[in-house]
Structure formats: structure tokens, C-alpha cells
Amino acid sequence: MKNPFEKMPTILFPDELIDKAFRRAEKAASAATPRGKPFQKAREREELRIRTVSQVLRDNLRKVLDRTPGVSTLPPFYQELLDTLVDRDMFHKSLASINWAIKTIKMLEDRYVEKIRYSRDPDEMARLRRQFYGRVASIIKDIGDRLEYLNKARDVLKDLPIIDLNLPTIVIAGHPNVGKSTLLRQLTNAKPEVASYPFTTKGINVGQFEEHWLKYQVIDTPGLLDRPLSERNEIERQAILALKHLGKVIIYIFDPSEYCGYPIEHQMHLFEEIYEEFKEFPFIVVLNKTDIADEEKIQKVESFLRDIGIDPIRIVAKDGTGIDKLKERLIGIIKPEMEAIVLHNMGRSLNG
């Protein structure tokens, strides 16, 4: 899976695009060797200028459309991120304005070429060509704000995280320093890749593991699921919505040793907020650092969780204690759904 926006091209400013088209037209006209009477030579050169300007402008605009995915074609996860970062409606309208400009320039090209073909006066042909130049320049300037908007959007969207949307994804949550990155390394048996995330100052951590021929993806999102909702800005709140299109299971980590710097009461409060926010998801809760935590505090968290129907798992992420049990529970939740998807896809392939 690749970032769907990584091929978005750099977009020229209106004046740059217009100058490029006009220079290319003059170069083409200078290189041409038309034959015939003076008015025939003039006609060929003016037609060549018009067609070249039209072609250069439309090719540059078409490249933007061809290399930018349509909003409706994006997976829901990326649609949500698009809305979070750059405003989905404005993005769609900007692409629509480029499509309008392409069609209008082509229509003007055909109209002015036809006018020139009916003329036998070189001066009139030059006047028609200048008129065409003026009209297409106005069109490009009319969509200048849209082009500038898309260029700014590109600068943000090209840094979206690269996540395999075909894999079942496990999202890790909990306060900072409770052991999320350590758990991620234990689950995936590899150093996680750090992907850019434009709406947080930290990168997300992504890792994968394989069990019984099925792959699973695990991500940690520093800055998003590690503090109360009241402390998040609007962009971060919307980014959390995007995660809902991605995750299959939430692993929530408590640190009953409190070495993370957050009292148990704070950790329980954050859990209640995350649990409410993602209540449609299955939760697996782990108690980390149980080798150095006070038994009374461990039992306090366990009692709190069992009151809401959750059976936590004790782990020590740094040495792998409890990881096998955690994986077993994860796979027990996800594997049946994944097997059903695999069988469904196999059935579609056979029927197709």
C-alpha cells in the first residue's frame, strides 16, 4: 500500500504556466517551415501557436488530475485524513475547476482555429491569436487560487502515513511512557517503521507480525490516544475519527507501577475516555511493568476493569512476559473475521 497522494505533481503558478505555454508556442512557430502564399504561411503559424498553447496548458493541468486521486475513490481512512488536513470539499472543487479549465481551453482552441481558417488576412489572424491568448490566460488566472490551494494541499498530503489498509490493524493506546513502543517491538519482532503524521509532532510507529499464514499490523499513534480529549485540538480530534476506519482492535496499556509519571487514577480516567470514544471496537487491556508494580495497585486496576467486563492481561513488555497470551487473544478476535474475508475473496475469484 502506498500513500495515494505521493505522485501529486508540483503545480505551477498561473503566470509560470502561461509563460511556459507562450514560450513553447513561439518556439514551435519559429521552427515551423510553412509553404504557400503569405496568408497561408501566416495561417499555419497562428494555428500552430494556438494549438501549442492549448496543448501545453491542458497537458500540465491534466497531469494534476491524472496524478491526484479523486476523493470518492479513496478508502474511508484517507478520506477522513483528507478532510482533517485540507478540507475534502475544497479539494474536490479545486480538481473540478481544473477539469472545467481543460474543457474550456479545448473549446476555445477549436473555435479560434476555425476562425483563423476562414481568414485570408494575416493581421486579422494575429489579432484572433492574441484574443485567444488573452482568454486562456484569464481562465488560468481564474483558477489560480485553486491551483495554489492544491499545491499547499500536496505539501501536506505527500507526508501521509503509509499503512497497509488490507491488513487487520491493531491500535495501541495509553499514556506516554507506559511501554507502548516496547510492546510494539515485542509483538512485531522488528524495529517498527516510523511514518510521518502531519497532524502530530511525532511519527506513528508501524509494525507487522504473521501468525498461521495471516499478517497483522500494529500501530502506535503518539500524540493522539495518549491524553484526554479536552487537551486535543480540532485536527487531532478529527484524526482520531480517521483511526476508526483503520483499527480492528484496541490494545490499551496501563502502567500500575506509575513509573510512567501518571497516577493510576489518571490512567483510569483516560481509559474511560478512549473506551467511550472507541466503544464499537473490541478492547484488550494489558497491565505492563507488573514485575515492579505494587500488587495493591495492580489489583485496583484489575477490579476497575472487571467491573466493566474486561479481563486484563499482566505483561512485562521489556522481557516478553505475557506476550504469547496477548497474541493468542488478539488472534482469537481477529482471525475469524480475516478467514471469512479470505474465503469471500476466494469465492469471488472463482466465480469471476
User: Is residue 310 situated within a structural domain?
Assistant: yes
Q: Which residues pair with 210 in a beta bridge?
A: 215
The answer to whether the Cα torsion of 256, 258, 263, 268 is positive or negative is negative
User: Is residue 3 situated within a structural domain?
Assistant: no
Same domain, 199 and 290: yes
Mean of the pLDDT values across residues 140-147? 96
User: Is residue 162 situated within a structural domain?
Assistant: no
Q: Which pLDDT score, from 0 to 100, does residue 79 have?
A: 83
- What is the average pLDDT value for the chain, to the nearest integer? 86
Q: Which residues pair with 283 in a beta bridge?
A: 250
Q: How many helices (H) and strands (E) does the chain have?
A: 11, 7
Cα 237 to chain centroid distance, Å, stands at 16
Distance CA 266, CA 271 (A): 9
Query: Domain boundary at 157, 177, 192, which?
Result: 157
104 pLDDT band, cuts 50/70/90, is: very high
User: Is residue 4 situated within a structural domain?
Assistant: no
Please state, in angstroms and as integers, the Cα–Cα distance from residue 206 to each residue in 16, 57, 188, following that order: 40, 41, 9
User: Is residue 7 situated within a structural domain?
Assistant: no
Residue 278 sits at φ, ψ, to 5 deg, of -115, 40
Q: Which pLDDT score, from 0 to 100, does residue 344 have?
A: 55
Same domain, 203 and 277: yes
Lowest mean pLDDT among 64-73, 130-139, 235-244: 235-244
pLDDT tens for residues 225-267? 777 766 766 656 656 766 777 778 999 999 999 999 999 999 9
Please state, in angstroms and as integers, the Cα–Cα distance from residue 123 to each residue in 23, 65, 114, 116, 255, following that order: 21, 37, 16, 11, 84
Task: Tell me the chain's radius of gyration from C-alpha atoms.
Answer: 29
Residues in CB range of 173: below 8 A, 6 or more apart: 180, 221, 225, 226, 250, 251, 252, 253, 274
Same domain, 241 and 286: yes
User: Is residue 32 situated within a structural domain?
Assistant: yes
Please give the span between the terminal C-alpha atoms of the chain, in angstroms, as a whole number: 24
Model pTM? Answer: 0.69
The percent of the chain in helix, strand and coil, each rounded to the nearest 5, is 60, 10, 30
- Judged against a pLDDT cut of 60, whether residue 287 lies above it is answered with yes
Q: Which pLDDT score, from 0 to 100, does residue 94 have?
A: 94
Q: Which pLDDT score, from 0 to 100, does residue 236 have?
A: 66
Which of these, 274, 188, 242, lies nearest to 78 by C-alpha position? Answer: 242
3-class DSSP state of 123: helix
The answer to whether the Cα torsion of 196, 197, 203, 209 is positive or negative is negative
Lowest mean pLDDT among 69-73, 203-207, 271-275: 203-207
Q: Which pLDDT score, from 0 to 100, does residue 339 have?
A: 66
Same domain, 137 and 184: no
Residues in CB range of 301: below 8 A, 6 or more apart: 254, 256, 264, 267, 268, 287, 312
Same domain, 202 and 140: no
Same domain, 227 and 289: yes
**Tell me, what CATH number does 331's domain have?**
3.40.50.300
- Judged against a pLDDT cut of 70, whether residue 352 lies above it is answered with no
Q: Which pLDDT score, from 0 to 100, does residue 188 have?
A: 85
Same domain, 152 and 197: no
Same domain, 71 and 176: no
Same domain, 34 and 57: yes
Residue 247 sits at φ, ψ, to 5 deg, of -75, 155
User: Is residue 299 situated within a structural domain?
Assistant: yes
Q: Which pLDDT score, from 0 to 100, does residue 334 have?
A: 84
pLDDT tens for residues 317-327? 999 999 999 99
- Judged against a pLDDT cut of 70, whether residue 119 lies above it is answered with yes
Q: Which pLDDT score, from 0 to 100, does residue 192 have?
A: 57
Better pLDDT: 234 or 268: 268
**Which residue range(s) make up the domain with 241?**
169-351
Same domain, 97 and 232: no
Same domain, 142 and 204: no
User: Is residue 225 situated within a structural domain?
Assistant: yes
3-class DSSP state of 311: coil
Mean pLDDT is highest, among 1-15, 68-82, 113-127, 180-194, for: 113-127
Q: Which pLDDT score, from 0 to 100, does residue 166 have?
A: 78
**Tell me, what CATH number does 121's domain have?**
1.20.120.1190
Distance CA 143, CA 255 (A): 54
Query: Domain boundary at 157, 177, 205, which?
Result: 157
Same domain, 269 and 175: yes
- The total domain count for the chain is 2
Q: Which pLDDT score, from 0 to 100, does residue 248 have?
A: 82
Please state, in angstroms and as integers, the Cα–Cα distance from residue 33 to each residue in 200, 256, 264, following that order: 59, 84, 84
Query: Domain boundary at 124, 157, 190, which?
Result: 157
Q: Which pLDDT score, from 0 to 100, does residue 109 have?
A: 97
